[in-house]
Amino acid sequence: MTGRYALGFGCGALLWLVSSFVSAPWVYVLWAIAIIIDFGLPLSRASRDVSGRYPPDAMHLSERYGLLTLIVLGESFVKVLTSVSEVGATWDHAVTGALGISIVCSLWWIYFDDVAGSRVKRGSLTALAWIYAHLPLTIAVVATGVSIKRAMFFELSAPAPVGYRWLLCASLALVLFSVAAIDAVTERRQSEFGDRFRTTTRFACALFVLLLAGSGSVLPAWVFLGLVSACCLAQVVLDLIMAPLAADEEMMHEGAQDAFGVAAKDEEEVEAPNTPPKRHALSTAIRKGTPSELRRDLYFHLMDGSWWTLFSTLLAAFVGSNGVFAALYLLEPNSITGGESGSLSSAFAFSVQTMSTIGYGALSPGTDYANVLVTCEAIVGLFGTAVATGLMFAKASRPRTSMLFSEPIVVTVFHGKPTIMFRVGNARGNEIVEATISVSALVEEDSPEGHQLVRMRDVKLERAATPLFVLTWQVLHVVDESSPFFGVTADTIAERLRLMVVSMTGHDSTYGQTVHGRTMYYPENFRFGHRFVDVLSTLDDGRMLVDYDRFHKTVAE
């Protein structure tokens, strides 16, 4: 591994050295090749395979990045103090200094409470994404420190200078974008909100900061800096709201070791089964010869897809339909009064005002042909608004279940009887009333006549319903003569069982609707001679604690 990196980076260094003797434009070609080598070498598959066999020390690596970030943040803090010492602690400099320090401290909080308090997700490229996202982050933090020092000399009653205004907002936005990129490949296991919400919020605040750079030309400098500081402090408030009940000191290190290929396992607790065979969801089955009228339609695609799919589809339909009508208006000269004749931009603006019923009054139809088009476009706009509203409401009103099923399923002895157990948790913690659960197993059987059949057998549960499901529920099935698992062992379960389907329904009191959850278990999910680790405990103040970090863990009997 060392030889590979030494040879690759040595070639890159040689190109940088040679470029000092080459004139433009070939010098830029050498620079581009050198940069490709510097970045491409660690990202290549061969290098990643070598890193998988010889993983770096994740704890030391995270410490190095934390120290580097602390140094550049500290430099920004020092720049504020040195600027105050140079000009004196006047009222204006005290205000700008306080706002600048609040920005620096907010960035410190965002990194060391968020980035340093998360674990890297498992994946082939997540660790590399975590590493390389620190490059723009470090550059942006340095640029932010420089811009904050310049902000010390802003005249508070006048708009901030355009150059330094954009430097501050662009560098700060790059910090938030970089943190969002790191958030996308990390997770906070005990956070109150999902990781996607955390990432989306970072992106939204970065875009808001960029908008402040443009609108800052009409704002006094103290208002501009106050809004930028408030945006950063809002990130701190968000982290406080999302803060877990208790800190997990090993979260980052365990996740980084997993991402680099090191399995961090406890000596007693087992987190995951051996490498399972590749499984495909039933929905991915290839359907050949399906009647056309029964295939997926656009409504199904939009409801089943993501929000971005819906937004992009509606945006494309809006822009496309307005573009079509704009082109139709241009077919007749002078059809739009008040606009530039023959201008596509004026026609498009008039179409947008017509379809959205804005009608500012500056543009109006000038011919009978234009009046007919306006009538048609108004009808299209009404129908389009109704369809878009219906899609948005239908998608937003669908309840999302908070049911969490354990990854393993254990086979143990309970009250002297062989018992199959798995558990279900209410991750959101709201009330689900009249919850019911059903289990079916797809097993291979031989009939008395010698027929080999694959049948769906019902699995009888000790208790299949509960009046209130708030915390967790351990589901039990006693293996007796009537059980489809009777006589099955760890060596024969793969020959007998194809899969086991678990379905749960209940009435969610928050949504006021019925919610359901489903999961499937395969032979490799069964752990014989194991039991689940307890996840329920009581805090000092009497409240119950559900530790979902241990939800999937088992211990050998």
Q: How many CA atoms lie within 13 A of 132 on its CB side?
A: 11
pLDDT attached to residue 282 = 62
Side chain identity, residue 173: A
Residue 247, class by beta-carbon neighbours within 10 Å (0-12 exposed, 13-18 middle, 19+ buried)?
exposed
Chain centroid to CA 41: how far? Answer: 28
pLDDT attached to residue 502 = 92
Rounded CA-CA distance 207/196 in Å is 17
Q: Which residues neighbour 329 within 8 Å (Cβ) at sequence distance 6 or greater? A: 335, 336, 347, 350, 351, 370, 373
SS3 358: coil
Residue reference for tokens 């179409």: 351
Burial letters 410-419, b for 16+ CB under 10 A, else e: bbbeeeeebb
Strand partners, 26: none
Rounded CA-CA distance 445/496 in Å is 7
pLDDT attached to residue 270 = 52
pLDDT attached to residue 179 = 92
DSSP output for 49-83? HHHHHS---HHHHHHHHHHHHHHHHHHHHHHHHHH
pLDDT attached to residue 114 = 79
Rounded CA-CA distance 428/403 in Å is 8
Q: Is the dihedral angle over the CA atoms 217, 221, 227, 229 positive or is it negative?
A: positive
Rounded CA-CA distance 451/439 in Å is 25
pLDDT by residue for the chain (557 residues), tens digit each? 888 889 999 999 999 999 999 888 889 999 999 999 988 888 888 887 887 777 777 778 888 888 988 888 888 888 778 877 777 767 777 888 888 889 999 999 988 887 877 788 877 778 888 888 899 999 999 999 889 888 888 888 888 888 999 999 999 999 999 999 998 888 876 666 677 888 888 898 899 888 888 878 777 888 889 989 998 998 888 888 776 555 444 444 454 555 555 544 444 555 444 556 667 666 666 666 666 555 666 777 788 778 888 898 899 899 989 988 888 888 888 888 887 777 788 888 899 999 988 887 788 888 899 899 999 999 999 999 999 999 888 888 877 778 889 999 999 998 888 999 999 988 887 888 899 999 999 888 777 777 778 888 888 999 889 888 888 889 999 998 888 888 888 888 888 888 899 999 998 888 788 888 899 999 888 999 999 999 888 888 888 888 888 889 999 88
Could you tell me if 154 and 94 are in contact, meaning their C-beta atoms sit under 8 angstroms apart?
no
Strand partners, 337: 364
pLDDT attached to residue 336 = 87
Quick one: angle between helices 221-242 and 195-215, nearest 10? 180
Q: How many CA atoms lie within 13 A of 142 on its CB side?
A: 8
Rounded CA-CA distance 187/317 in Å is 35
Return the CA Rg of the chain: 31
Strand partners, 538: 544
Task: Please list the helix, strand and coil fractions of the chain in percent, rounded to the nearest 5, in that order.
Answer: 50, 20, 30
Residue 221, class by beta-carbon neighbours within 10 Å (0-12 exposed, 13-18 middle, 19+ buried)?
buried
pTM: 0.65
Could you tell me if 132 and 182 are in contact, meaning their C-beta atoms sit under 8 angstroms apart?
no
In three-state form (DSSP H/G/I as H, E/B as E, the rest C), the secondary structure along 430-494 is CCEEEEEEEEEEEEEEECCCCCEEEEEEECCCCCCEEEEECCEEEEEEECCCCCCCCCCCCCCHH
Phi (first) and psi of residue 50, to 5 degrees: -65, -40
pLDDT attached to residue 288 = 62
Could you tell me if 154 and 168 are in contact, meaning their C-beta atoms sit under 8 angstroms apart?
no
Phi (first) and psi of residue 465, to 5 degrees: -150, 150
